[in-house]
Amino acid sequence: MKSINENIKPTFLQNVDMMLNDTINCINIDPNIAKILKICRSVIQVKFPVKINGKIEIFYGWRAVHSSHRLPVKGGLRFSLNINQEEIEALASLMTFKCAVVDVPFGGAKGGLLIDPKKYDDESLEKITKKFARELIRRGFLSPARDVPAPDVGTSPREMGWILDAYKSSRPDDINHMACVTGKPIEHGGIKGRLESTGKGVHEALKEFFRHPEEIKKSNIKGQLNDQKIIIQGFGNVGLNTAKSLFEDGAKIIGVSEIDGAIYNKDGININKLEKYKLENNTIVNFPNTKKININNDLLTYQCDILIPAALENVITLKNVDNINTKLICEAANGPISYRANKRLNEKGITIIPDIYANAGGVAVSYFEWIRNTSHIRMGRLSKRYEENRGDTIINAIKHLSKENLPQSIINKLVYGANEEDIVSSGLEDTMRMAFHEILKYKEKYKLNNYRMAAYAVALKKIEKSYLELGI
């Protein structure tokens, strides 16, 4: 890639490429593989008409496949006015690396529709979504075996249900039709825990970091996770569920920001009450017992121990990086830190848990959902009663050997068989823990000075192996 003029602000795609290049220059990787990973293998733009309230409107959408070294490819669909093809390509490349870091056997993809979903009623939005889906289906960019979308900015289980319906009607003979999309409603093949998975994955990433005293020490952090003061930028699905998971585990969240403003309380914010307040008022501003912060006053620069950007890309740039006042940044959003800002933060000694690891909980649980849909069986169905019966046997053995009565709380745990939600939660925790161990291993192996480069190294070496084994 050509060098970027220092006076020109790099694009999101250029930021991703430069971060990738930094890692490639530090590890031994096949130069041909490196060339492949710097491009999107295929990108499609669709333009399609939809009649809305008696008038024809033209909509623009994209789907980008960065790497198909493993199939299907995986990546969300976002509905927003702030997207373009280059952004979609950048997000697709991040998905490739994200899947590799957490050992999800998918390639990377991303899609987007240029639309303000708030402008349309439910009936119109359903019509638009299904038309977009059919355009992708016809061109081979949506199927259980090749390309599986998921919710992203501006989309939710509702839109995924509409896409599923469009696919089912277009491919009625595909017995795996439910696997054409993940993040669906539970009633239509979705899996419990998927909606919260990205946010819970961020929490699991932080928990795993705090299980390593030597890493905490290097970051000049004192105490454990629940001793830290946390600020979260963004209160959509990812930010909300990150905040809820942390709060329910006892963490102190002192600041939350949204598109229309921010709130702050040095003694902590009750996230459950804040969620209810937002549902009732459609804003977090003026939440009781908090200081209102105007939109122009960046909460990102407030002093805290852990900063969690959980909204959009490039929110920390050269414009505000020198005012960032935290010890640890955990990237819940995709690409929230620009390349140059990332370098500046590294120089300042601020630890960054990178996006391709920290927010990979969503794709990990999407994988579980896809497996559930292709296997046509609920997770835990074959083992739940066996586990409960085994627990009963253990209790009976203890009663036979001892005159002491076991507390009921212990009995309940012993005879409890894991349900699907328990299995998903366990799988998510294991995924995040094992991935961090790999990141630490590669950080040491290649003498890398930050987690981002180590995470990229993990991904690159796995993808390199896959390409070489298959033939480039």
Question: What is the model's pLDDT at position 28?
Answer: 87
The residues facing 353 across adjacent strands are 330
Question: What is the model's pLDDT at position 297?
Answer: 59
The type of residue at 462 is K
* 78 Cβ neighbours under 8 A, 6+ residues apart: 110, 111, 112, 113, 152, 153, 154, 155
The type of residue at 166 is A
Question: What is the model's pLDDT at position 1?
Answer: 42
Residue 283's φ and ψ, nearest 5 degrees, are -165, 160
Provide the 3-class DSSP secondary structure of residue 258. strand
Q: Which fold has domain 197-361?
A: Rossmann fold (3.40.50)
DSSP-H helix ranges across 310-450: 339-347, 355-358, 361-375, 384-401, 408-414, 420-445
Annotated active-site residue 110? The verdict is yes
Handedness of CA 427, 460, 210, 313 (dihedral sign): negative
pLDDT string in tens for the chain (472-residue length)? 444 455 567 888 999 999 999 999 999 899 999 999 989 999 999 999 999 999 999 999 999 999 989 999 999 999 999 999 999 999 999 999 999 999 999 999 999 999 999 999 999 999 999 999 999 999 999 999 999 999 999 999 999 999 999 999 999 999 999 999 999 999 999 999 999 999 999 999 999 999 999 999 999 899 999 999 999 999 999 999 999 999 999 999 999 999 888 999 999 999 999 999 999 999 999 999 999 987 655 899 999 999 999 998 899 999 999 999 999 999 999 999 999 999 999 999 999 999 999 999 999 999 999 999 999 988 888 788 878 888 888 888 887 777 777 788 877 777 777 788 889 999 999 999 999 999 999 999 999 999 999 999 999 999 999 998 887 6
Instruction: Determine the Cα–Cα distance for residues 194 and 317; give it in Å rounded to an integer.
Output: 31
Q: Is 260 exposed, middle or buried (0-12, 13-18, 19+ CB in 10 A)?
A: exposed
Catalytic: which of 9, 51, 55, 110? 110
Question: What is the model's pLDDT at position 2?
Answer: 44
Handedness of CA 416, 421, 425, 431 (dihedral sign): positive
DSSP-H helix ranges across 171-236: 197-209, 213-218
Predicted TM-score (pTM) of the model is: 0.90
Looking at the chain, which residues constitute the CATH 3.40.50.10860 domain(s)?
42-190
Residues 461 and 442 sit within 8 Å (Cβ to Cβ): yes
Provide the 3-class DSSP secondary structure of residue 51. strand
Q: Which fold has domain 42-190?
A: Rossmann fold (3.40.50)
Instruction: Determine the Cα–Cα distance for residues 242 and 203; give it in Å rounded to an integer.
Output: 6
Structure token digits, residue 378: 């609920």
Helix (H) or strand (E) holding 148: strand 147-148
Question: What is the model's pLDDT at position 7?
Answer: 57
Q: Which residue's entry shows tokens 């909980």?
A: 361
Q: Is the backbone peptide bond immediately before 151 cis, with ω within 30 degrees of 0?
A: no
Structure token digits, residue 83: 């997207």
Looking at the chain, which residues constitute the CATH 3.40.50.720 domain(s)?
197-361
